Structure 1
Amino acid sequence: MAPFLIGQSDKTMGLSGTTAMTETRVLRRRVYHIGGYDPAPPSAVFERFAKELRRFERAWGAHTTISQLVVSGDLAAWQVSASGSNWRTEIEMRLVRWDDVITSAGTRPTWSRLVPAIVAFYDFLIAGALVAYLRSSWRYAMFFIYPFLILALIAALSVGAAIFTQNLLGNYFASILSFLISAYLLLHAADRWLYLSLLLEDWIFSSHYVRRGDNNLGDRLQRIAADIADNTRMEAVDEILIVGHSLGAVLAVDLIDRVMKIECDRPGANRKLAFLSVGASILKIGLHRAASGFRAAIGRVSSNRNVFWADYRARSDVMNFFGAELLLHLNLPPTDSPVVRNVSIRRMIAPERYPRIRKNWYKMHCQFVRGNDRRAAYDYFMATCGPISAERIARSERGATDLFDVDGRLIESANFADDIKTVGTARP
């Protein structure tokens, strides 16, 4: 490995002005990434990561190399080496797999999802979730209603087609056939253009997860938790970072809670875990009346001093709970965790590209795990591949933007202590 101009060795060399920087520098990082409800296989996620990594290079003046993908039953892994003129970080990326769980549910045709989806809708409705969504984030409440409004519209248009056919031909068989053909075509169009099937499966899975959990996922998370707990006792990496995006943030809370339980049974010093929930759907599950076990897990994670938790949100993303008070809405005791950061997706994306995606709710939501065109307070790749700890970045309202010069050089004179005690909510 090439020598570092700034880093852990600075203490022994006696360089002035770098001690505070040393405390937040990361030379080696292991990242556990848990994506949202997305059936993309590991190969597609890896290719997307490699493509978006190029944006990180352009925005921050960095250079990166990436290894080949290695896939196992629980994880998909690859190595990244990222560097600037005076810094270098080695990263182990570990994708926590649950694409197989999502794919197995998504093989059935759209029409077969209708009854389970309606059952899931009423499950969340009766459990008080919709009212709670309206109180915590009306935008998310609209997202909850959205797929079921599509179904209602499809039903209304199909009935209208049947009535028109009956009035025109006076034939009940023809009107029934007209209803079925209209419903099939409209469902197909909604599936293709509005992601209807994926949305319905998302809510079906969430209802099952709240009520019964998922044994396959539970066993997988337990094995990964044991691996993380073992690694917190080793000096192989400087930072262990867990990133949960969308519904993946729910699984991340579950994973961290399992790590904590394992460590409780293994007395000894344990290093801090860093946890970023980005565009998270934690309240989606937590506000369901039956999710008492999950709410308890949130309480344990938020109160554990060995876990640094930052929650990133954006007003323009309808699929996260912008403006919500996480612990307050869940009736949990207040703590200093998570540190909440409200970010602007507009400031992450090039002005010429933003108009093309701002009306696409899915692309806006996925920007939390994509590369930025411009330097911004939140940057997924700076958090996962950069030389600064996730905690240091999250505790600053400006992220890492003040820590690098225009050429991507880490600024040695940057005051790393300025924001280290900053906690709470940052307003855009």
Structure 2
Amino acid sequence: MKLIEKRVVLHFPGFEPLDGVAHRARYERSARQSASVWGYSVEAGAPDEGGDPLSFVVTTGAAATDETPPEEETGSAGWQTKSRIHMVDHDVFVRRLRARGTLGQIMAGFRSCAQIMLEGGMRGYFRHAWRFGLFFLFPFLLTALAIVLTAQIAILPYALGFSPWHMLWSGLLALCFFVFAFLPFSERFHTLHLFADWEMAVALGRMDRTEFNDWLEDRATAVRKALAEEADEYVISSHSMGSSVAAHVIGILLEREPEIFMGKRVVFATLGSAILQCGLMSSATLLRARVGLIARCPEIFWLDVQCLTDSINFYKVPVVAVSGHADARPAEILLIRVKQMLTPEHYRKIRKDQLRVHRQYVLGPDLKASFDFTLMTSGPMPASVFAGTDEKRIPG
């Protein structure tokens, strides 16, 4: 198998309050962790000046040993791979949606919840991945319960037969409960962050907000420039909400130039299978159409990475068929186990934090496992080898 010497990576991160610089820093930390586990060298360069999106070069290579014969230094034993990573983050929307006041975020969140329910999204979640359905409902049920308790505290004096004037202090007490007790408690579960996440999901599904649509067109133009660089392989990786962004952006490029990937080796890797978060809404016709364009592009190998212990993914769900393209080539599903990537102590520490488990796709491992984000995006083997559990992840 021919090793990859030069690669271009377009990574679409999930819905996290991190800009390109922060994503690069996390990538470097994870890469160093991966290198220590697998025994190779890694160096992450500084961000390119003026790059949009932020980009940097990662160089990986075989760990130097005294036993490597000189004649093998340029072969598989002395491999070196340079990968230019472009971080196509959407932090601008994460910050914008979270910048509103608490009341505004709550109202926007419940509006998004209602829209998803009315458009059949929730029904689809429970039909295809019931745990994802519970993930959808949890922050709204938690907040609704808090609102009910707050109202009960406020009207308690009246309910007990006291003068309505007593509601002056009970109303203040109710407000204190919500602001100083519930809101800090709810942050343990990232409740308002999830409200914003669902608002963006609705925007990417309905495609009825100009600021999102214009931004997607702009990202498509930037990605088109990145794809102009010659490389042995092009990896388009995405995580969580970033997969819907990636599907839109790559779909836009295929709409503009159907032959854009001709002659290129392209891997479209969706980590934490979540396109259907937006795609199951009845109004998400454009997103589903773009899923079909990607699936039908002969140059694109689609790898959908899923995990049983991650409740925030559509486990074993064929995303292409469910999106209405049963006649198209399906995405190759790679089933991974977070438990096999981490030490028992580390896994016990994070396993009850579902958002942390969901992030493990893009984080460094403690142990050698069938999936490694750094090796897929910066390693010497073609990214498509990760579809096979028996394939080598590194030469040797």
Q: Settle same-fold status: TM greater than 0.5.
A: yes
Asked if 1 retains the 8 angstrom alpha-carbon contact of 2:239 and 2:270, the reply is: yes
Task: For residue 178 of structure 1, report the CA deviation from its aligned partner.
Answer: 1.9
Aligned to 1:226: 224
Aligned to 1:419: none
Aligned to 2:386: 393
Aligned to 1:10: none
Counterpart among 5, 13, 16 of residue 38 in structure 1: 16
Q: Find the aligned partners of 1:390 and 1:265 in 2 and give their Cα distance.
A: 22
Give the aligned CA root-mean-square deviation in angstroms. Answer: 2.0
Asked if 2 retains the 8 angstrom alpha-carbon contact of 1:190 and 1:196, the reply is: no
Task: For residue 120 of structure 1, report the CA deviation from its aligned partner.
Answer: 0.8
Aligned to 1:172: 167
Counterpart among 165, 190, 198 of residue 193 in structure 2: 198
Indicate whether 1:62 and 2:40 are aligned. Answer: yes
Indicate whether 1:332 and 2:325 are aligned. Answer: yes
Q: Which of 196-205 and 148-157 deviates more?
A: 148-157
Task: For residue 227 of structure 1, report the CA deviation from its aligned partner.
Answer: 1.4
Q: Find the aligned partners of 2:39 and 2:270 in 1 and give their Cα distance.
A: 26
Task: For residue 114 of structure 1, report the CA deviation from its aligned partner.
Answer: 1.6
Q: What SS does structure 2 have at the residue aligned with 1:118? A: helix
Higher helix share: 2
One-letter amino acid of the counterpart of residue 185, structure 1: F
One-letter amino acid of the counterpart of residue 224, structure 1: A
One-letter amino acid of the counterpart of residue 304, structure 1: C
One-letter amino acid of the counterpart of residue 63, structure 1: S
Q: Which of 243-252 and 254-263 deviates more?
A: 254-263
Identical positions, percent:
23
Indicate whether 1:127 and 2:127 are aligned. Answer: no
Q: Find the aligned partners of 1:269 and 1:181 in 2 and give their Cα distance.
A: 61
Aligned to 2:231: 237
Q: Find the aligned partners of 2:392 and 2:222 in 1 and give their Cα distance.
A: 30
Asked if 2 retains the 8 angstrom alpha-carbon contact of 1:39 and 1:103, the reply is: yes
Task: For residue 357 of structure 1, report the CA deviation from its aligned partner.
Answer: 0.5
Asked if 2 retains the 8 angstrom alpha-carbon contact of 1:299 and 1:332, the reply is: yes
Aligned to 1:28: 6
Counterpart among 42, 45, 49 of residue 27 in structure 2: 49
One-letter amino acid of the counterpart of residue 244, structure 1: S
Asked if 1 retains the 8 angstrom alpha-carbon contact of 2:316 and 2:333, the reply is: no
Go from structure 1 to structure 2 and tell me whether the alpha carbon gap of 1:36 and 1:71 turns closer, same or farther (over 3 Å shift).
farther
Task: For residue 124 of structure 1, report the CA deviation from its aligned partner.
Answer: 0.5
Q: Find the aligned partners of 2:157 and 2:7 in 1 and give their Cα distance.
A: 64
Aligned to 1:136: 128
Q: What SS does structure 1 have at the residue aligned with 2:338? A: coil
Q: Find the aligned partners of 1:260 and 1:66 in 2 and give their Cα distance.
A: 31
1:6-405 aligned at under 5 Å gives the runs: 21-22=1-2, 25-70=3-48, 72=50, 74-85=52-63, 86=77, 87-164=79-156, 167=160, 170=163, 171-211=166-206, 212-213=208-209, 214-231=212-229, 236-264=230-258, 269-394=262-387, 396-401=388-393, 404=394
Per-residue deviation, residues 290-341 of structure 1 (Å, max 9, x unmatched): 0011111111111111111100000111111112222332232233331011
Q: Find the aligned partners of 1:366 and 1:398 in 2 and give their Cα distance.
A: 25
Go from structure 1 to structure 2 and tell me whether the alpha carbon gap of 1:61 and 1:164 turns closer, same or farther (over 3 Å shift).
same
The answer for unaligned runs of 5 or more in structure 1 is 1-20, 405-409, 412-428
Q: What SS does structure 2 have at the residue aligned with 1:274? A: strand
Q: Find the aligned partners of 1:382 and 1:169 in 2 and give their Cα distance.
A: 68
Q: Find the aligned partners of 1:349 and 1:218 in 2 and give their Cα distance.
A: 36
Go from structure 1 to structure 2 and tell me whether the alpha carbon gap of 1:291 and 1:375 turns closer, same or farther (over 3 Å shift).
same
Task: For residue 150 of structure 1, report the CA deviation from its aligned partner.
Answer: 1.2
Q: Find the aligned partners of 1:360 and 1:246 in 2 and give their Cα distance.
A: 16
Q: What SS does structure 1 have at the residue aligned with 2:228? A: helix
Q: Find the aligned partners of 1:222 and 1:382 in 2 and give their Cα distance.
A: 26
One-letter amino acid of the counterpart of residue 37, structure 1: F
Task: For residue 43 of structure 1, report the CA deviation from its aligned partner.
Answer: 2.2
Per-residue deviation, residues 229-249 of structure 1 (Å, max 9, x unmatched): 533xxxx31111110100101
Q: What SS does structure 2 have at the residue aligned with 1:255? A: helix
Task: For residue 98 of structure 1, report the CA deviation from its aligned partner.
Answer: 1.6
Q: What SS does structure 1 have at the residue aligned with 2:381? A: coil
Q: Find the aligned partners of 2:55 and 2:161 in 1 and give their Cα distance.
A: 61
Task: For residue 53 of structure 1, report the CA deviation from its aligned partner.
Answer: 1.5
